[in-house]
């Protein structure tokens, strides 16, 4: 059985999903791709926006979520941490 | 009357210092041979930088994920190893440059019989170096297993203190203890590599295996000072390999999508 995702895992999945989509994604796509409920999506997205990891842009009257430089840097830090954990067995 | 008090204070101070020196009695530790002076310090500085770099990186990871306390403990272990190198460097520098002056100072106060060939700095320096090194390696050993951190570790920490105490009489006890810890660490990382087939874990195992060999060589330092230089060089190769492993971790993270 897979373990429950931690808060950090969810944030990482959200940021990685946006990054894999070229740094831009529609909110509904993010919700499905990151396996989130509507409530979770609202809560975590608010947090990401507040920390300026993600920003909202409007294109052709459609809302888009864009990963900021700070968001890209955080993904990099997460990747380094995961690699480090894998190497040292933490 | 005044003269009487002065004499009494002097006697008291002398007896206190005699007691202190009997407590911190240390054998002469074989450090670097004269032709290796400077080079050994450079090697220790570079080794300290490597371990401190990994320690700081681990602390940064802990700030990112405060729920994973293992990052904090690993950071603490590497910082301890870094500090042990710093203590060793300072001890070497201060002992070489001021030992004669310091010895004359203590000889004038306590007399030649008490001071003999040892002074305060090498004694305290080696004690701190031994304690920090052993605790550092022990924490890495404890973290190399997935077991929960429990009270058993407190008992082992007590034995580390005891073994550090006995390095007063036989300097190689510290290297022997470090050798045993490192052998166990290298073995655990090898078993982890066999299980996960992850290349960086193998590099980590090789780094610790090389450092293990260096600790084994350090044991025989007293028979020939040149062996100290050899052990330092082997240890340096081990820490360079550890740096290579760390660089590979960062490089793999960049590749990861």
CB-CB contact of B65 with B74 (8 Å): no
- Would you state the pLDDT for residue B38? 83
- The minimum CA-CA distance between B216 and chain A, rounded to whole Å, is 24
Residues in chain B closer than 8 A to A79 (CB atoms): 253-254, 256
Segments making up each domain of chain B, as ranges: 26-256
- pLDDT single digits (tens) A21-67: 888 889 899 899 888 888 988 899 899 999 889 998 887 778 888 89
Measured distance CA(B51)–CA(B45) in Å, rounded: 10
Q: Which pLDDT score, from 0 to 100, does residue B150 have?
A: 59
- Residue B238 to chain A, least CA–CA distance (Å): 16
Which one of A19, A20, A81 has the shortest CB-CB distance to B61?
Answer: A81
Give the residue among B256, B257, B253, B255 at the shortest CA–CA distance from B61: B253
Q: Which of B29, B54, B36, B1 is nearest to B246 (CA)?
A: B54
Q: Residue B89: pLDDT band by 50, 70, 90 thresholds?
A: confident
Return the minimum-mean-pLDDT range out of B119-128, B136-145, B204-213: B119-128
Asked if B177 contacts B222 with a C-beta cutoff of 8 angstroms, the reply is: no
Average pLDDT, chain B: 81
pLDDT of residue B182: 95
Closest chain A residue to the Cα of B248, Cα to Cα: A83
Residue B217 has pLDDT above 50, yes or no: yes
Would you call A12 exposed, middle or buried from its count of C-beta atoms within 10 A (0-12, 13-18, 19+)?
buried
> By percentage, how much of chain B surpasses pLDDT 90?
44
Measured between CA atoms, how close is A37 to chain B, in angstroms? 23
pLDDT at B61 over 50: yes
SS3 content of chain B, % helix, strand, coil (to 5): 85, 0, 15
Those residues with Cβ within 8 angstroms of residue A81's Cβ, 6 or more apart along the chain or in another chain: B61, B64, B65, B71
How far apart are the CA of B254 and the nearest CA of chain A, in angstroms?
A: 7
Segment B145-165, tens digit of pLDDT: 776 655 677 778 888 888 877
Task: Give the separation between CA B69 and CA B167, rounded to whole angstroms.
Answer: 32
**Domain map (residue ranges) of chain A:** 7-85
Q: What does the alpha-carbon distance between residue B202 and residue B245 come to, in Å, rounded to a whole number? A: 9
Q: How near does any CA of chain A get to the CA of B171, in Å?
A: 31
pLDDT digits (tens, 9 = 90+) for B95-139: 765 555 555 665 666 555 555 545 667 777 888 898 999 999 999
pLDDT digits (tens, 9 = 90+) for B68-85: 889 999 999 999 999 999
CB-closest option in B71, B249, B254 to A87:
B249
Q: What is the model's pLDDT at position B149?
A: 59
DSSP letter at A34 equals: T
Sheet holding A54-59, edge to edge: A24-25, A62-67, A54-59
Inter-helix orientation angle B199-218/A69-88, to 10°:
60
Residues of B in contact with A82 (CB under 8 A): 253, 256
Summarised one tens digit per residue, pLDDT across range A68-90 is 999 999 999 999 999 999 999 88
Percent of chain B, pLDDT > 70?
Answer: 74
Confirm if B185 and B140 have CB atoms less than 8 A apart: yes
Q: C-alpha B7: how far from its chain's center?
A: 42
Q: Other CB atoms closer than 10 Å to residue A73's CB: what's the count?
A: 11
Say whether B64 and A86 touch across the interface (CB within 8 A): no
- Please count the residue pairs, one from chain A and one from chain B, whose beta carbons lie less than 8 angstroms apart: 64
Q: What is the mean pLDDT of residues B227-255?
A: 92
Closest CA to A90 of B55, B77, B143: B143
Residue with more model confidence, B256 or B250: B250
Element (H, E) at A55: strand A54-59
Is CATH 3.40.50.300 correct for A7-85? no
**What CA–CA distance (Å, rounded) separates A15 from A10?**
9
**In chain A, which residues have their Cβ closer than 8 Å to the Cβ of B143?**
88-90
Q: Do A80 and B196 lie within an 8 Å CB cutoff?
A: no
Please, are residues A20 and A83 in contact by the beta-carbon 8 Å criterion?
no
Q: Which CATH fold topology does B26-256 show?
A: Rhopdopsin 7-helix transmembrane proteins (1.20.1070)
Comparing alpha-carbon positions, the chain B residue that sits nearest to A21 is: B257
Under the banding of pLDDT at 50, 70 and 90, the label for residue B27 is very low
């Amino acid at each position: 059985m897979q373990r429950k995702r931690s808060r950090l895992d969810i944030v990482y999945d959200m940021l990685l999903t946006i990054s894999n989509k070229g740094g831009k994604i529609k909110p509904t796509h993010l919700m499905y791709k990151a396996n989130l409920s509507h409530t979770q999506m609202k809560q975590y997205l608010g947090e990401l926006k507040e920390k300026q990891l993600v920003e909202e842009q409007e294109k052709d009257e459609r809302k888009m979520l864009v990963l900021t430089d700070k968001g890209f840097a955080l993904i990099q830090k997460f990747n380094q941490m995961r690699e480090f954990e894998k190497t040292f067995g933490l | 009357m005044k003269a009487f008090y002065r004499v009494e204070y002097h006697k008291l101070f002398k007896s206190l210092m005699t007691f202190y020196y009997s407590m911190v009695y240390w054998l002469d530790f074989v450090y670097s041979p004269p032709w290796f002076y400077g080079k050994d310090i450079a090697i220790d500085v570079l080794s300290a930088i490597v371990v401190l770099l990994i320690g700081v990186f681990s602390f940064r990871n802990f700030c990112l994920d405060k729920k994973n306390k293992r990052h904090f403990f690993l950071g603490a272990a590497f910082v301890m190893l870094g500090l042990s190198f710093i203590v060793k460097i300072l001890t070497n520098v201060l002992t070489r440059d001021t030992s004669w002056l310091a010895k004359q100072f203590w000889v004038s106060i306590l007399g030649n019989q008490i001071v003999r060939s040892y002074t305060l700095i090498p004694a305290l320096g080696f004690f701190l170096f031994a304690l920090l090194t052993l605790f550092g390696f022990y924490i890495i050993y404890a973290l190399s297993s997935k077991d929960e951190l429990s009270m058993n570790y407190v008992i082992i920490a007590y034995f580390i203190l005891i073994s550090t105490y006995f390095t007063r009489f036989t300097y190689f006890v510290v290297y022997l203890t470090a050798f045993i810890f490192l052998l166990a660490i290298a073995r655990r990382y090898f078993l982890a590599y066999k299980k996960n087939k992850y290349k960086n874990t193998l590099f980590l195992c090789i780094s610790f295996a090389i450092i293990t060999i260096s600790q084994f060589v350090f044991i025989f330092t007293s028979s020939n000072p040149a062996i100290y230089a050899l052990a330092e060089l082997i240890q340096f190769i081990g820490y360079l390999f550890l740096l290579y492993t760390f660089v590979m971790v960062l490089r793999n993270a960049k590749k990861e999508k």
